[in-house]
Amino acid sequence: MFSLLIFLIPAANPGGASESRPVNHPGNDLYSSMNLAEIGLSEDVFDMAIKGLHKLDSIGRLQNPNLITIADYSQSCNKKRLYIIDLKNKELLFNTYVAHGRNTGGEYAESFSNAEGSLKSSLGFYITEKPVTGSHTGYSLLIAGVEKGFNDNAERREIIIHAADYATETFIKQNGRLGRSLGCPVVPPELNKPIIETIKGGTCLFVYHPDTQYLASSTLLH
Provide the CB-side half-sphere exposure for 14 (13 A, CA): 26
The distance from CA 114 to its chain's CA centroid, rounded to whole angstroms, is: 16
What's the rounded mean pLDDT across residues 8-21? 41
pLDDT-derived band at 29, boundaries 50, 70, 90: confident
pLDDT computed for residue 160 by the predictor: 98
pLDDT computed for residue 36 by the predictor: 97
Q: Is the pLDDT of residue 33 over 90?
A: yes
Q: Output the CA–CA distances (angstroms, integers) from residue 29 to 23, 36, 49, 99, 205, in the order listed.
A: 10, 11, 15, 30, 21
* Whole-structure pTM value: 0.88
In the 8-state DSSP scheme, what is residue 99?
B
Domains and CATH numbers, the chain: 30-217 (2.40.440.10)
What's the rounded mean pLDDT across residues 122-148? 97
Q: Is the pLDDT of residue 28 over 80?
A: no
Distance CA 6, CA 184 (A): 8
pLDDT computed for residue 2 by the predictor: 41
